[in-house]
Amino acid sequence: MQFDLSAVETGTMVFIGTLVFALVITLFMMTAAFTALVLVGVGRLAWLVAANILLGLVHGLNHGWDRLVHHASTVELPGDIAGDFATDFMGQSAPSTGTYPRVGLRDS
């Protein structure tokens, strides 16, 4: 049994062609939307990974610096030089101003 397309009316052919074209456009749009969703998800995942790595590095640096400062504040200098340093310079005037006392800075 052979099917003769010349027997089909022009309106029917246009209708079927429109449906096929709509199906092709729909499949293309669905593929593009899915690809966009995947790319956005991959981009967000990459951003979260990079942000967490940088945040971890910053926290690590802050923790290391905090430990270093606290360790430095507990170190006792031989001969109690730190106490002598603070008393030696208190009350001396600065050469350029003549009025402001020098301050021995130390971490609290």
pLDDT at res. 76: 76
The pLDDT of residue 74 is: 82
pLDDT for position 21: 98
- Both tokens of 61, joined, read 């640096």
In Å, what is the CA distance from 9 to each residue of 2, 19, 66, 75, 104? 17, 16, 85, 99, 102
For 26-32, the CB contacts below 8 A with 24+ separation are none
Residues of the chain with pLDDT under 70: 1, 77, 79-108
Question: What pLDDT score does 14 carry?
Answer: 94
pLDDT at 6: 78
| Model pTM score | 0.48
Calculate the average pLDDT of the chain.
82
Q: What is the DSSP string of 21-41?
A: HHHHHHHHHHHHHHHHHHHHH
pLDDT of residue 85: 54
Return the pLDDT at 71: 85
pLDDT at position 54 = 97
